[in-house]
Amino acid sequence: MKDLQVYLEYGTPGGGRRLDALLVGAAAGGVLGLVIVELKQWQTCRILDTDRVMRSDGLVTAHPVHQVAAYRSFFQHWRPQGAPELDVRGVVVLHNATAAEGAALSAGTGADAGVPVLTGEELSRDGDMLARLLCCGDLAAPGAGQVEEFESIRWQPSSRLLDHVGADLEGHHAFALVGDQQDAFVRIRQEAARHLPGRDRDTAPAGGHGGDGAIITVSGGPGSGKTALAVRLLGRLMRAHPTTRPRFITPSGTLRAHLLNAVRDHGGARELFPSAGSLRSSARQTGALVIDEAQRIKRGHAPGLPPDLAAVLEHVPLAVIFLDERQIIRPDEGTTVAEIRTAAQARGRTHHHLELTGSFRCSGSAAYTAWVDHLLYGTPQPWSGHTGYDLAVADDPFQLQDWIDQATAAGHTARTTAGFCWEWSRPRASGATTLPLDISIDAPSTTPGGPPRTWRAAWNAARALTDPDDGRLIAPHSQLWASHTGGHQQIGCIYTAQGLEYHHAGVIIGLDLTWTDGHWVAHPEQSHDPALRHLTPGQYLPYALNTYRVLLTRGTHTTRLYSTDTPTHHLLQTLIHAS
């Protein structure tokens, strides 16, 4: 074993995964042998199901055997043509656990994954036996040329993987296209056909402009279908232009988590959705890139286009960039169509701009999204209530929570969001089963002369909370708060709601934005967002307006509003007819 090449914390492209240890040696026939080693310090764990285990500290995590199987899938599905043949193996090592614990964990996978589980007792065996247990007993020292060849591999998704994932994305009902989404889809496909090599050719078509490619920006308001179009487009690029190795990147960790959940059954698919932090490196590895929520890309300190987007314009033949300039919510974020157009032209790149004007959220009510824009950016208008969308004002947060609970009990997704106007206590103790009730709002008594009531609630969970007895999910991870069981019992914020939707939306407008003397006034001192509270009221106002615009447009069927500021709440009551 001492002659094998060892890589610690080996990372896959795009920051998708990080292996604890990777052993590389020479297998029979000149094939490179890879052994994935997943190290766990657990003493005990409890198997919840074939995919999840509960550690001794109460934290629920993925079954380590399935982790190794997923790593193995990456090497199998991302080995490019011409790269050396690989014999990929894997092992889980629980060096603090007993042999009985290891056997129970191995038996709990539900199937023979071909990944042995070793414990501290096995690690005390002699060298030859230990090498066999670690699946490397037959591996010899790799030659210098083999090591160099392995380290020079440029991992790329196989056409088969792209075809399977692309087919699933294109066929998913959540990404169906209508109206101007279809028109934009056709237009982008035409540009892709002009600038990119197809499935059966290695170069762009004759007469095309494969050399300079194209930059396409797609803008649209809330519910215009940007994300559905972006994901559907990714699926089409994967199938029609697999040699370009398309990628999808979004700065929204919440949206990325939902997309990874959608493709979780495909081994090796995770790296098709790199993290936003790898945007520059991904720009050098792909010929087609789809970016959603681009207005959230960090600007950096230099003027002009954000450096990450500049790298995209420099290197990617076809980049499709989706954004909404009225969803810029932080001073260190934000880019505009005009900035992208100017930068593209300065680099001699072709630029096209497409705009989505439809409304596929809020029961398709363009009137509601227009009402929100008038409320926040223009002159507030009365709500007519005759457009098929259900909008009302809650009397107090207790009524709002009752409404959310009833909608959830009826089988709908219902969530409450709020402005970032209360402390967010972190971190919580590992293994805790409750969240701190950071949000506190006083409400009038329900009886004349009675004492006031205080409504308390928790923000969404930074880590998932699980019942220690039965493994039942109590509170989902913040990135899955909008869709997973239990999320209705926590309050979401702009960072967990942006880019997502649910049937019924409750919105609490905090004291950071009040209607005062006939106009909106910002109060950054009421914010608990460290990225914003240092701003002046004038600087804070556009971010507050954009934030509440996002929160007000998440509900596909109904929205209920409540403001903790009395004059602001009175404004909402006068504008909105009782439903």
Across the chain, which has 579 residues, the per-10-residue mean pLDDT values are 86 74 90 91 78 75 84 82 87 87 77 80 82 89 90 78 74 69 90 85 46 87 84 90 92 86 78 89 92 91 86 96 93 93 94 84 72 95 83 96 95 95 77 86 86 93 80 84 91 90 95 97 97 96 97 93 97 82
Question: Residue 441 and residue 443: Cα distance in Å, rounded?
Answer: 6
Strand partners, 92: 38, 117
What are the structural domain ranges in the chain? 5-152, 159-356, 362-575
Answer whether 181's CB lies under 8 Å from 225's CB.
yes
Residue in 41, 117, 34 with CA at minimum distance from that of residue 71: 34
Q: What is the pLDDT, as a whole number, of residue 84?
A: 85
Question: Residue 424 and residue 61: Cα distance in Å, rounded?
Answer: 24
Q: What is the pLDDT, as a whole number, of residue 158?
A: 73
Can you spell out the DSSP letters for 249-272? E-S-HHHHHHHHHHTTTSTT-GGG
Q: Can you say whether the dihedral through the CA atoms of 23, 29, 30, 31 is positive or negative?
A: negative
Q: What is the pLDDT, as a whole number, of residue 207?
A: 36
Strand partners, 509: 563
Class of domain 159-356: alpha beta
Alpha helices in 12-158 (DSSP H): 64-77, 99-107, 120-123, 127-133, 144-151
Q: Angle of helix 307-315 relative to helix 337-346, nearest 10 degrees?
A: 50
Answer whether 195's CB lies under 8 Å from 213's CB.
yes
Answer whether 249's CB lies under 8 Å from 243's CB.
no
Residue in 11, 16, 78 with CA at minimum distance from that of residue 245: 78
DSSP-derived 3-state class of residue 64: helix
Answer whether 545's CB lies under 8 Å from 345's CB.
no
Preceding peptide of 427 cis, ω within 30°: yes
CA 356 to chain centre: 22
Residue in 57, 2, 77, 428 with CA at minimum distance from that of residue 267: 77
Q: What is the pLDDT, as a whole number, of residue 269?
A: 81
Phi-psi category of 82—alpha, beta or left, where left has phi over 0 and alpha has psi -120 to 50? left
Can you spell out the DSSP letters for 145-177? HHHHHHHT------HHHHHHHHHHHHH-GGG--
CA 545 to chain centre: 24
Strand (E) or helix (H) holding 405: helix 397-409
Question: Residue 77 and residue 75: Cα distance in Å, rounded?
Answer: 6
Residue in 353, 351, 352, 350 with CA at minimum distance from that of residue 212: 350
Residue 112: count other Cβ atoms within 10 Å of its Cβ. Answer: 8
Answer whether 426's CB lies under 8 Å from 441's CB.
no
**What is the distance between the terminal CA atoms of the chain, rounded to a whole angstrom?**
73
Answer whether 383's CB lies under 8 Å from 576's CB.
yes
Q: Can you say whether the dihedral through the CA atoms of 104, 110, 111, 113 is positive or negative?
A: negative
Question: Residue 122 and residue 215: Cα distance in Å, rounded?
Answer: 56
Q: Can you say whether the dihedral through the CA atoms of 121, 127, 129, 131 is positive or negative?
A: positive
Q: What is the pLDDT, as a whole number, of residue 208?
A: 38
Answer whether 517's CB lies under 8 Å from 565's CB.
no
DSSP-derived 3-state class of residue 139: coil
Q: What secondary structure letter does DSSP report for 298?
A: B
Phi-psi category of 379—alpha, beta or left, where left has phi over 0 and alpha has psi -120 to 50? beta
- List for the chain the helix, strand, coil content (%; round to 5): 35, 25, 40
Strand partners, 70: none
